[in-house]
A and B are shown apart, each in its own frame.
Chain A
Amino acid sequence: MSNPQQLRYSKEHEWLSVAEDGVSTVGITEHAANALGDVVYTQLPEVGSTVAAGESCGELESTKSVSDLYSPVSGEITEVNEDVVNDPSLVNTAPFEGGWLFKVRIAEEPGDLLSADEYTAFIAG
């Protein structure tokens, strides 16, 4: 698997896209999706709510477990991926594309995110 170069990554295995008009897209990485197994339920933050970097803002449930979803950045939720709500398996089949989770208007630039190469090294380590 390869982690797209243009994204930034958290140590909780979320990815964050380059902001367009101050809004970034967030998802979980392929590594995280593989570790979870088949995702069967997602609880995403509500549009209009605010999230804080590193804090739980939802849940991802798989066959074997339930995991907290963390936001890699602080800001306001502008959109959630209704396709993923209806078909959580998108998180497994297209984690970096159709399986994105939410969009966030960034309130504060995140400090400690990893580059693709750094994240690849992090999960290998």
Chain B
Amino acid sequence: MSSSPTAGPRRTALDALHRSLGATMTDFAGWDMPLRYGSERDEHNAVRTRAGLFDLSHMGEITVTGPQAAALLDHALVGNIGGVSTGRARYTMICREDGGILDDLIVYRLADTEYMVVANASNAQVVLDALVERAAGFDAEVRDDRDAYALLAVQGPESPGIVKGLTDADLDGLKYYAGLPGTVAGVPALIARTGYTGEDGFELFVKPEHAVELWQALTEAGEGVGLVPCGLSCRDTLRLEAGMPLYGHELTTELTPFDAGLGRVVKFEKEGDFVGRAALREAAENANHEPPVLVGLIAEGRRVPRAGYPVVADGKVVGQVTSGAPSPTLGKPIAMAYVDAMYAAPGTTGVAVDIRGSHEPYEVVALPFYKRSK
């Protein structure tokens, strides 16, 4: 899987399998990834009601080890990483000195002195470079493990039953945002109860050479309960319904976590200084000065808002759509958008999205659009 940047898109260990399944492929952050296998709406609904199987091998794994691994990550990231128990995971962010978001991350504590940082594919190199740079003076090693893992995700209400049949690991004891090493279908895996769909589910980090074997075992185990292969298209509509931000849309270097309504990930009370602390402290204090607010919008009509479309009210632009799609679950187009605070309250009337010149009425709602019943 090591290819030079000029060699065209990178392919995952499951590439041939995707093609044999008739996947429509798409270039995503330099990777050739499945966009959908059949109908993206059917794939979306399968994850909401049954289960879906995803290849997410484009995600960027970075391992941090050593006596000061926790101290390094507490310095480099905005979260309290030293406070994460072994076997647990944490959603966090890496920011610039000026507080701008470089990426959002999931950090797994695999052992006392070993962490795995999972970055977005589009930002993996940036995150790796930043961690290496910020590691100066710490007794810790930052290792590029992007090629060491394939990542398969099983998501949806049937996923515990599917994975349970293939492992001796204690899945009932594996809470949301926890991860433990184990064996799935005879393959060594880091079994994590995480995802990006708003459903219960698992992410399985395995060696690339085991990816096909695991995919096939999961497919067989899920056959009777309606598991289907799922592409990135439905992953996007699933995370949008769940109100989860996507880097490059809701999160950018121009925004701090406070701008994105995610100031809770910044832990000022942790020990020691961290990159961005001063700027973020200021951003936290200014958060009361009515910056734009990230809201949900639900269409009254059927035209779909897209990223970048203006949000209008009272004859002027009051915001911008960051993500939009037809929602299979709601049966209507939905969007996330940053809007001026005075138009951000749920139920605000008179808000529209300018869809190629036509002002389509939208209802302002609180995020998320969808929350699973536990």
Contact = CB atoms under 8 A, between A and B. Distances in A.
* B is bound to A: yes
Interface of A: 34-35, 37-38, 40-41, 43, 61, 63-64, 66, 89, 92
B39 A41 contact: no
B302 A41 contact: yes
A63 B233 contact: yes
A63 B306 contact: no
B302 A38 contact: no
A91 to B, nearest CB: 12
A40 B299 CA distance: 13
B326 A40 contact: yes
Q: Is the interface of B mostly helix, strand, loop or mixed?
A: mixed
B340 interface: no
Interface in B24-58: 24, 35-36, 39-41
B36 A37 contact: yes
B304 A66 contact: yes
Contacts of A66: 304, 306, 356
Contact of A61 (B40, B41, B304): B304
Contacts of A40: 302, 304, 326, 333
Contact of A38 (B41, B303, B306, B356): B41
B325 interface: yes
A34 B24 contact: yes
Contacts of A41: 302-304, 326, 333
B328 to A, nearest CB: 9
Determine which residue in A37, A41, A64 has the highest number of CB atoms from chain B within 10 A of its CB, and name it. A64
A2 to B, nearest CB: 16
Interface string B212-244: 000000000000000000000100010000000
Interface of B: 24, 35-36, 39-41, 233, 237, 302-304, 306, 325-326, 333, 356
Nearest to A85: B302
A81 to B, nearest CB: 16
A37 to B, nearest CB: 5
A92 B24 CA distance: 15
A38 B304 contact: no
Given A38-B40, A40-B326, A92-B39, A63 B237 contact: yes
A63 B326 contact: yes
Contacts of A64: 35, 40, 233, 325
Given A41-B326, A63-B41, A64-B40, 8 more contacts: A37-B233, A38-B326, A40-B304, A40-B326, A41-B302, A43-B303, A61-B304, A64-B233
A38 B35 CA distance: 12
A99 B218 CA distance: 36
Top 9 nearest A-B pairs by Cβ distance? A40-B326, A41-B302, A38-B41, A63-B40, A61-B304, A38-B39, A37-B40, A38-B40, A41-B303
A66 B41 CA distance: 16
Nearest to B41: A38
Contacts of A92: 39
B237 A61 contact: no
A61 B233 CA distance: 14
Contacts of A61: 303-304, 326
A120 to B, nearest CB: 18
20 contacts: A34-B24, A37-B36, A37-B40, A37-B233, A38-B39, A40-B333, A41-B303, A41-B304, A41-B333, A43-B303, A61-B303, A61-B326, A63-B40, A64-B35, A64-B40, A64-B233, A66-B304, A66-B306, A89-B41, A92-B39
Contacts of A37: 24, 35-36, 39-40, 233
